Amino acid sequence: MRKIPTIKAACIFIFIGLSVNTFFIKAQTKVQTAQLHTLCKTWGLLKYYHPGIANGSKNWDSVLISAVDQLLKSNTPQQLNVEVEQLLDIAGKYTAPTADSITKASINTRNLDHTWIERDKLLTSQHQQVLTFVSKHPYRGLNYYAQPNPQNDSTVYTPNEKPYAEMLLPNVNYRLLGLFRFWNVINYFYPYQYAIGKPWDQVLDELIPEMMKANDTLSYHKALAKMAATINDSHGGLWPQVFDTITGKYSPSFDFRIVDHVAVVTRIDSGDHSSGLKMGSVIETIDGVPLKSKMENYWDYIPASNKGGKLKSMHYLVLNSHRQTALLSGYHPDGKRFKVMVNLKERDLLKGYPNFFEMESPITYKMIADSVGYVFFSNITRKNLDSIMSPLMQTKAIVFDMRNYPANGTGTYLVPQYLLKEPQFYSRLTRPDFSLPGTFIYEEANKGTTYAQVGKLNPDPYKGKIILLVDNRTQSAAEWACMTLKTAPNVTVIGSQTAGADGNVTRTVLPGGYRVNFSGLGIYYPDGRETQRVGIKVDIPVAYTVSDIVNKQDPLLKKALEFIEQKK
């Protein structure tokens, strides 16, 4: 008589069946990822290097869409060879007399790596030979897809990428098109590709499955945000914002600062008494979730160069909700605990960020101690420059507050005239070499212009101590200003790591009409030291505490005054 399988045995059979099926799915996904990886890099190389594609005469998007579609439908490893062959056929035959040799210094070529062609085991030897030839003979004309920006010829301009704005939720083929566009423009034209923090090939392998499974609005927006964040650039980001989908579009009406994984209320509208919160109230949770947990969950979606930059951007979403109310808990300045329901509203924190982050001040300059001047740097203009600096020339110290955004450039380029005895170079840069995508020209910043140096011949420059106050609000133009000021002797930087993002912002477009940003120039000190991700070198580290924010104290300024009184 046949034995009837026990429940335990049946469960084992089911478990084995599920395990085998899961293993097969994972293996299939891995194979598809590898094939799509090779397709991405092949398509990108031809896009920027092959004259039959770089001149814009072919609809290169549609060619990729077709290739992706065939790869995803096929279960055979040979399909990739078919699609690569198709790409090469459409591009057309390309001959040249001899291969060009690259003789540039390593700093110019550190982003360029065509050795993947030889290493890629999915390519046939014939395809490897053709692609290697293409890589050594780049198109010499104006590239249709990537060219010098007419507004700033030092950054890449991509005016002919189709936005497909009607595709609010693109299908998988167009989602991968967007990823492949992004990956290749970063690979060939992002000056800091080498400094991202992990191999760019590895990032592609991680993002392909993300895009493949992003088949609803929330998962697509998460995939876009994670993709934009992979370059670790505080200039990065997506427009329009996708975080409303991820975190909700409603936020509190009060302003706050994040310190030690809590939010401290810094400003409340005069007419808003509904919440019961006070200036200095410390928020620990929202709807029962600790802010620390929320920040950890959002971390990979935030485009920023370093931890400080991530924490700054976290202000835009950590107290957001999909509902118009939220339950907040924490404690008031007197230590009394609270749990209150607050109303939330739609609020454009990006538009009002200077006010939100207290980066604006009515102060231009003032005396803050005996023979110590204080200057709020972004308030310097051509009209008030001399009236600020002349009275300070006989002081023993000047404190320049750089925790703001000097938009007009007056202080950046003209204040050093008061501090230096002769002109000085302050920065070098890298900019794309469009004749050989993936390489960069390394030269003095603003070469050939009056801004290549700062300062002038001055027999009587400032002789006192110079202090720069910095934190994660010190970004881009503010970091640039710090570099010009640091050409002076006796400069000390006090505070915490700056945002670590400098160089003109550039962008490209993705399906759905999204624009993804990144730094377009590489910025370095005159001796070649990094600024991207690293930020301005801090001489005396000072961090904010919850108590500092609650009691509206400025530990950086306090440390500056202590340092000024120290004897050399």
**Interval 104-133 mean pLDDT:** 94
**Interval 84-108 mean pLDDT:** 82
- DSSP secondary structure code for residue 355 in this structure: H
Please tell me the predicted confidence (pLDDT) of residue 567.
Answer: 77
* CB atoms inside a 10 Å sphere around CB 403: 24
Paired tokens of 380: 């310097």
* Among 276, 273, 256, CA closest to 358: 256
Please tell me the predicted confidence (pLDDT) of residue 267.
Answer: 94
Please tell me the predicted confidence (pLDDT) of residue 316.
Answer: 93
Q: Which string of b and e fits 222-248 if b means at least 16 CB within 10 Å? A: bbbbbbbbbbbbbbbbbeebbbebbbb
Paired tokens of 35: 């094939």
Lowest-confidence range among 19-28, 107-116, 438-447? 19-28
Taking only the tens place, the pLDDT of each residue in 317-339 is 999 999 999 999 999 999 999 99
Helix, strand, coil % over all residues of the chain, rounded to 5: 40, 20, 45
Residue 44 has pLDDT above 50, yes or no: yes
Q: In percent, how much of the chain has pLDDT > 70?
A: 93
Question: What global pTM score does this model have?
Answer: 0.92
Please tell me the predicted confidence (pLDDT) of residue 23.
Answer: 40
pLDDT-derived band at 26, boundaries 50, 70, 90? low
Cα–Cα–Cα angle for 478, 484, 488, nearest 5°? Answer: 130
* Among 505, 494, 497, 485, CA closest to 536: 497
pLDDT-derived band at 20, boundaries 50, 70, 90? very low
* CB atoms inside a 10 Å sphere around CB 328: 23
Please tell me the predicted confidence (pLDDT) of residue 95.
Answer: 79
* CB atoms inside a 10 Å sphere around CB 306: 19
* CB atoms inside a 10 Å sphere around CB 176: 26
Do β-strands 397-401 and 465-470 pair in parallel, antiparallel, or remain unpaired? parallel
Assess contact for 81 and 170: CB atoms under 8 A: no
Residue 560 has pLDDT above 80, yes or no: yes
Assess contact for 90 and 67: CB atoms under 8 A: no
pLDDT-derived band at 100, boundaries 50, 70, 90? low
Of residues 71 and 151, more confidently modeled: 71
Please tell me the predicted confidence (pLDDT) of residue 351.
Answer: 82
pLDDT-derived band at 106, boundaries 50, 70, 90? confident
Q: Which string of b and e fits 408-431 if b means at least 16 CB within 10 Å? A: eebbbbbbbbbbbeebbebbbbbb
User: Which residue(s) pair with 469 in the sheet?
Assistant: 401, 494
Taking only the tens place, the pLDDT of each residue in 348-380 is 877 889 999 999 999 999 999 999 999 999 999
Residue 18 has pLDDT above 60, yes or no: no
Residue 2 has pLDDT above 50, yes or no: no
pLDDT-derived band at 101, boundaries 50, 70, 90? low
**Interval 32-41 mean pLDDT:** 97
* CB atoms inside a 10 Å sphere around CB 91: 22
**Interval 208-224 mean pLDDT:** 97
Assess contact for 325 and 337: CB atoms under 8 A: no
Residue 25 has pLDDT above 50, yes or no: no
Please tell me the predicted confidence (pLDDT) of residue 73.
Answer: 95
Of residues 104 and 8, more confidently modeled: 104
* Average pLDDT taken over every residue of the chain: 93
SS3 state at 423: coil
Taking only the tens place, the pLDDT of each residue in 450-481 is 999 999 999 999 999 999 999 999 999 999 99
**Interval 401-417 mean pLDDT:** 97
Residue 235 has pLDDT above 90, yes or no: yes
Assess contact for 154 and 199: CB atoms under 8 A: no
Cα–Cα distance for residue pair 239/198, rounded to 1 Å: 25
Cα–Cα distance for residue pair 403/469, rounded to 1 Å: 7
Residue 565 has pLDDT above 80, yes or no: yes
Cα–Cα distance for residue pair 142/148, rounded to 1 Å: 9
Paired tokens of 341: 């329901």
User: Which residue(s) pair with 522 in the sheet?
Assistant: 430
Taking only the tens place, the pLDDT of each residue in 442-452 is 999 999 999 99
Cα–Cα distance for residue pair 106/505, rounded to 1 Å: 24
**Interval 191-218 mean pLDDT:** 97
Cα–Cα distance for residue pair 415/379, rounded to 1 Å: 12
Catalogue all structural domains in the chain, each as residue range(s) with its CATH number: 16-145 (no CATH), 247-349 (2.30.42.10), 359-507+519-565 (3.90.226.10)
What string of H, E and C letters represents the secondary structure of 152-179?
EEEEEECCCCCCCCCCCCCCHHHHHHHH
